[in-house]
Amino acid sequence: MTPNDRIYGYASDTLNTDLGIFGELSWRPVEQFEISVGGRYYDTRAKATVTNQAGALGGYPGGYTPVGSTGSVDQKEDGFTPKATISFRPVPGFLAYATYSKGFRVGGINPNAGLLAAIPSAYNSDTVDNYEAGVKFGLFDNRILLDATVFTIDWKNIQARLFGPGPSYYSYVTNAGSANIGGVEFSGTVKLTRALTFSSNVTYQDAQLTSLLPDSFAVGGGYASGTTLPGSSKWAVANNLVLDLPNVKLAPTFEIAHRYVSSAPVAFGNTNTRGNFNQFDARASVTVMERVRLLGFVNNVLDKRGVLNAPFTDQVAPAYSIIRPRTYGLRVDIGF
C-alpha cells in the first residue's frame, strides 16, 4: 500500500454567494391579449480552497501523487436574463402563446484540477436562449385536453462534463462550444368513460453541437459540429391508464403506467448508448377502513434491464447503472 494507506482523497472548502433580483410586468391591450415582460439580475461568486492529498491515484503515468497540493479559486459573474411572453385567449378554454427567455447555469470549480495539468481550475456559467410557442385547449366539455409545443434552444458556452484518460478517468467541467436543441412536445388527456382516463406525453427532440467542442484528450482534439449531445434521446414517451371506481365497494383504483426512451450516447467520444427500453408499472388500491387505504404495486413488471448511464464502458470491468429490477410491495396510507 501507499504511505498512510491512502488511495485518493481531496478536501474542498467552498463559499458560494448568490444575489438575484426578479421582476415582471403584464399588460392587456384588449381582454383576449396579454403581453408580459420581465427578467432577473444575478451576481454569483464561488471562492474555494482545494487540497488534493497524496495517494496511489495520481495524474498518471505512474499513478502516484507523492505530495499533496493546494490551490485557491475565485470565480464570479453577473448579468441579466430577460423573459417575454405574448398570450392570446380568443375563447374560454383556448390559449395560444409564444415565449422568449434567457437562462443561465452558475459556474463552479474543478476539484481534480491539481491532478492533471490540462484540467481547468474553474468554469463559467453557460447560457440558453429559449424560443417556444404552443397551444392549450379542451374539447367536448374538457373530456379531451390537449397541449402542443414547439421549441428551439440555443445553448452557448456549454458546461461540458468530460473525462481524462484512463486508468484514472478524472472528470472535469469546461466551457466550450455551442449547441441547438429543437423539438416538439405533445401531451393529452382523454376521459374515455366516467371511470377510465388515458393520458400521454410524447417528446421528440434533436440535440446537436453547432460548433466544435474542444477536448484535449479526444481524438482529433474535440467533438465536431453535428455531434449528438450525451443523454439526449430523440424520443421520450410516457403513458398512463387509470380506472377509478369511487362508487364501488372499497373504492378500488387500477393504474398501468408505461414509459419509453430511445437510445442516446452516454458521453462525448463514447460509442455506448443508454435508453432504448420500455418500462411498465402497475398499481391497485382499495379503501379497507375509513381513512385507511391499501396500495399494491409492481414496478418494472417485465423486469427489464434498461441502461440509464454507462460512461466508463471502456474500462476492464465496464460500469453501468440500470433501471431498478422488478419491485413489488404493499403500502398503507392512513389519513388523519
pLDDT in tens, 117-170: 677 778 888 999 999 999 999 999 999 999 999 999 999 999 887 776 666 667
Give the model's pLDDT for residue 6: 56
User: For residues 132 and 150, is the Cβ–Cβ distance under 8 A?
Assistant: yes
Give the model's pLDDT for residue 116: 67
SS3 4: helix
User: For residues 41 and 78, is the Cβ–Cβ distance under 8 A?
Assistant: yes
Give the whole-angstrom CA distance, residue 306 versus residue 299: 13
Phi and psi at residue 118, in whole multiples of 5°?
-80, -10
The residue with greater pLDDT, 336 or 282, is 282
The enclosing domain of 89 has a CATH number of 2.40.170.20
- The answer, yes or no, to whether residue 90 has pLDDT greater than 90, is yes
The cell numbers describing 299, all together, are 414496478
- Count CA within 13 A, CB hemisphere, residue 24: 9
CA dihedral in degrees (70, 71, 72, 73; nearest 10)? -140
User: How many C-beta atoms surround the C-beta of residue 114 within 10 A?
Assistant: 20
Nearest to 50 by CA among 135, 124, 108: 108
Output Rg (C-alpha) for the chain, integer angstroms: 26
Beta bridge partners of 186: 148, 202
Q: Which domain holds residue 318?
A: 3-334
| pTM of structure | 0.79
- Count of domains forming the chain: 1
Residues recorded for the chain: 336
Give the model's pLDDT for residue 67: 60
Give the whole-angstrom CA distance, residue 224 versus residue 193: 52
Residue 317's Cα: distance from chain center in Å? 27
Amino acid at 261: V
User: For residues 296 and 284, is the Cβ–Cβ distance under 8 A?
Assistant: yes
Nearest to 98 by CA among 130, 128, 126: 130
The cell numbers describing 167, all together, are 486508468
Give the model's pLDDT for residue 132: 98
- Count CA within 13 A, CB hemisphere, residue 103: 11
> What is the band of 4 on the pLDDT scale with cuts at 50, 70, 90?
low
**Mean pLDDT, to the nearest integer, of 283-308?**
94
User: For residues 111 and 50, is the Cβ–Cβ distance under 8 A?
Assistant: yes
Residue with cell 367536448: 140
User: For residues 11 and 51, is the Cβ–Cβ distance under 8 A?
Assistant: yes
> What is the band of 107 on the pLDDT scale with cuts at 50, 70, 90?
confident
Omega into 167 within 30° of 0, i.e. cis? yes
